[in-house]
Structure 1
Amino acid sequence: MLKAFKRSPKLFTLRVQYTHDWNREVVVIGKTTSPTVDFYFRNRSHQVQKYTEIDISRDDCLAQLATSITRGCLIVLVRDVPLSILKHLADANMMCAGVVWFFDDDIPGAHLDQLLPKPYRKSLSSWYKKASPLLTKLCNKIWVSTAHLAEKYQLPAETVLPPCQILKEKRPLVRCFYHGSSSHQEDWKFVLNVTRKVQSRNLNTWFELIGDHSLYKAVRGIPRVQVIHPMPWPDYLTMTASRTMDIGLAPLMNTSFNHSRSHTKLIDICRQKAVGVYSDRFPLSKKIEESNAGLVVDDRVDSWVEAIEYLMQLDKQDMLNNANQLVLDVESLSRVLSEGV
């Protein structure tokens, strides 16, 4: 048996009853980009007639609730749903079949675990203290992730929802990247628009971006994007020389500083065995186009999205060979150092 917990926390009391029959529709409300939704709900979506996710981080979350909650649906609240949403649901005259609170960490008991980071412990315990009255008004069921949680809170065994395997995307992952510095501000704005649109249209693309915390905040909400902190040149060279990527981006917005750029981005892309999408004002853009060493496009976001999607379907080896040869050809033209003074 589970040992007694000192000052053992208690769950809120289930008092609500819903009278509508379940229509086999489920509405999951939570952080939809979290591992919790993936492990416990998304990959069970085939078990119900209709499965809907409401992302609590979206500005139009409440509007989505209004259109997604149907007569007889089952609502699942995942972990620490914001109080504003709980209040909205509690005040709404819902015709649902039931409301479930699901938690996969010991949120009610977080305040007692001194080994948890203090900000994390404080955040969870503060939320639960304020949310409990609202959950009491809303929920007629509680689900947990483990038998330990069920035993601790005296819940029936059938309330345990174990994690399930996460289904992998069958298509190969396409790894795209843009590595800009702080001097590429206008280029960054453009790349973010391109990334956002590519990711909304494709499930098998991954973007790697190099930037600071402001970039990290800017990409929040865009799926499958990794932001790497800027690194010293030797470290960057080692990283890029030891791996293979798929598509590199080399935008060049119309700024006075950009007019003096060289074609080093072409070299960086080739080093990673990738093919590139280049601005039509990029140095060597005409040669790149003539020699089929990459795709050259204008400054429209849709042009870049279409170019990336075209390269995703292409056997890149010929284009990569052409790009490497172009780099060598340009290098061979200069005699500045060899001729000296």
Structure 2
Amino acid sequence: MQSLRSAIYGLIPRPQPSAASGIRPPAKRLLILSRYPNPSVSYYLDERSKALADIPVILKGLDDGLGDVDCEGLFVIICRYIKAPQLRWLEQRHGRLAGIAYFVDDDIPAVIAGDEASWPYKFRLLNFAIRPLPRLNRLLTHLWASTEHLAGTLTNSDHKVDILAPMPAQPSQKSPAMIGETAASLKMVYHATGIHRHEHEFLMPIVRSAMNKHKNLHFEVFADGDLARRWRRQGIEPARMTVSPQLPWSSYLARTTNHGADIALAPLLAGRTNDSRADTKRIDISRMGAAAIFSRCATFARCAVAGEIHIGNTAEEWLTAIDQLVEDGHRREIAFNATLQSLEKMRQSATLAFPGIRFDGFGDTA
């Protein structure tokens, strides 16, 4: 089965710019096409768009018409997906555009060929991310990926892949009382989509043991369908566990902003899809004001700082780390402050510029 998945992975088309970018006019305005709002826009595009100051930025959802958009000097960013009407609009006007960039922050072929994502999600990827590529590649002038590893899955000798690393907003620090409160009642969370099925399965016995040991813990997990049912079958007291369905991105932002947590679990197991991921989970954890436990891996090593907790993917190490954070409020505060520092490191290691775009009157941003 693994060899079949590898064969499918190799056959799935990749984005490959073929249009000339060097002769394009300077950009006067920016158009972002996306399933908006979504985490990719929040993690990678929002802060960079704000930094453009006097450059107009237009956001359009996948179902929005483009008839009111002036295409002269327009640079277009496609974030992961595009639908046929917008693709036709680009085809009819591409000669007048300042450029078209495709941005991707997941190894989409790995998700499709893998065994974790649901079939409806795979169908959406095929329909809106893969199916348009033969036509879209003829228009692309730029290709951006979120990590070096992901860029390596896209690169061939004919085109360049630029790195567009996460650019988080300046974090608003939570009240220290949220971190250092007594251990009388603590909230531990695992927030991940169904694409992380293996991580859900890895955590189930660990969380069950931790909840049996620490009666002051309440656990919250986001899960749907079979994963939700399996969480509810773990034998954890229903009054001490919340199994919530996946939320739309705007609702998730509001939920994690207004309802904090004390401990956040961030496991990441080895695999083709995870190997290409960026460390954006730190942004969510900081927003909640939580102390995090991270898997020891290349993804979370990228912006690691002293005071964070990085451990191997064994039940013993995860249970020990949970014990430490449950029993020591000072250690929770150290871990939370370390994640704040890691976000600043993330900001400093990235650039506000969009790679390769020349804005009219602002020079080359590359």
Bin of the TM-score, shorter chain as denominator length:
0.3 to 0.5
Q: TM-score, normalised by structure 1?
A: 0.47
Tell me which of the two structures has the higher relative contact order, counting C-alpha pairs closer than 8 angstroms and 6 or more residues apart: 2
